[in-house]
Amino acid sequence: MRRFCPTLRDDLKDQSLGKISQVRLSGGSGGAVKTLRGFDKTRHNVPDALNAATQAFLARLCAAELAEEAEAMFQNARAALGYKRAGISLDLGAALATLTTKDFCWELAYTLEASDPARYAATRTLHSLRSGELVRLPAFDGLFARQFDAVVFELVRGVRVEAVIDAVEALDPEAEGALRVDYPSDCSRCVLSAPGVNARVECDGATLAMRFARAGSPAECLAEFVALRDAFRLSKDATLAGLLD
């Protein structure tokens, strides 16, 4: 068995996922702005627009929650993986916390919801893993339990969304494991799903985002990836199999 791989990207390529430049795991939560500890109902108004001023306002409101969660992640990572001072650091910025270790980077970012600025989203992202073997360590996997509901792949050369749509629509809809595709009229993106697989793929040409029905750990996300990849392979179409191959 291989003892080390330079990046999670290369580890996934060994599992037959190619043509990608970066991989990140992502997940989020959210709530009403007025529930943040920094919100004072006697003098604050709920944002009704998304702009630089309201985002700066959110950054002040969420400072306590951001710092508390980031500090907890720092302490948990240090204890679970045995990091010394030189191997781990935490930076707190405006609505953004960045935990950097010698093995990975974890970020927590707060933003206002574009569709409803009275609500915020807290997004957690894991990227820049130095070794795919980390995902298989119980101590590492436990750090991020129930955090991520998406694996996002940035493509090196990209893919034509129209070609993906055409490939799915050319398949026999009655065939075993037949894929389904949904897309807007401008074909700027598409969403693919497979029967029996609890995940879907969103493609915009530059990235592929595998989204799962429930949040899980890194190991659980990669297990879902394998199941969905196998469903794509059943199509035996070069364009589709190549998306996750």
Task: Give pLDDT tens digits for 208-234.
Answer: 888 988 899 998 888 777 777 666 665
Domain check: are 87 and 162 in the same one? no
Give the H or E element holding residue 20. Answer: strand 20-32
Domain check: are 32 and 91 in the same one? yes
**DSSP codes, 130-144:** S-GGGGG-HHHHHHT
Alpha helices by DSSP H, the chain: 8-14, 52-61, 63-81, 138-143, 161-169, 218-233, 238-243
According to the model, what pLDDT value does residue 224 have?
A: 77
- 9 CB contacts (<8 Å, ≥6 apart)? 20, 21, 22, 23
Domain check: are 134 and 157 in the same one? no
pLDDT band at 110 (very low <50, low <70, confident <90, very high): very high
- 186 CB contacts (<8 Å, ≥6 apart)? none
Residue 138's domain comprises: 1-14+23-144
Domain check: are 157 and 174 in the same one? yes
Domain check: are 42 and 61 in the same one? yes
Domain check: are 34 and 62 in the same one? yes
Total of domains in the chain: 2
Integer Cα distance of 65 and 132 in angstroms: 30
pLDDT at 194 over 70: yes
Buried b (16+ CB within 10 A) or exposed e, 141-180: bebbeebbbbbbbebeeebebeebbebbeebeeeeebebe
- Determine the residue type at 46: V
103-110 long-range contacts, CB within 8 A, separation 24+: 103/129, 103/130, 103/131, 103/134, 104/128, 104/129, 104/130, 104/134, 106/73, 106/77, 106/144, 108/66, 108/69, 108/70, 108/73, 110/58, 110/59, 110/62, 110/65, 110/66
According to the model, what pLDDT value does residue 13 have?
A: 39
**Do the beta carbons of residue 218 and residue 126 sit within 8 Å?**
yes
Give the tens place of pLDDT for each residue, 135-180.
889 999 999 999 999 988 888 778 889 988 998 898 887 776 678 8
Domain check: are 36 and 74 in the same one? yes
- 201 CB contacts (<8 Å, ≥6 apart)? 191, 192, 193, 208, 209, 210, 211, 228, 243, 244
| C-alpha 62 chain-centroid distance | 21
Domain check: are 81 and 197 in the same one? no
Domain check: are 189 and 85 in the same one? no
Domain check: are 99 and 188 in the same one? no
Domain check: are 117 and 180 in the same one? no
| Of 161 and 243, the one with more pLDDT | 161
What value does the mean pLDDT take over residues 83-96?
Answer: 97
CATH number for position 210: 3.30.530
| C-alpha 120 chain-centroid distance | 17
Q: Give percent of the chain with pLDDT exceeding 70.
A: 83
| Of 22 and 61, the one with more pLDDT | 61
Domain end position, chosen among 121, 144, 167: 144
According to the model, what pLDDT value does residue 16 have?
A: 33
Domain check: are 1 and 105 in the same one? yes
- Determine the residue type at 101: T
**Do the beta carbons of residue 87 and residue 79 sit within 8 Å?**
no
Give the tens place of pLDDT for each residue, 7-17.
434 433 333 33
Integer Cα distance of 233 and 243 in angstroms: 10
What value does the mean pLDDT take over residues 53-67?
Answer: 98
- 104 CB contacts (<8 Å, ≥6 apart)? 126, 127, 128, 129, 130, 134
Domain end position, chosen among 91, 120, 144: 144
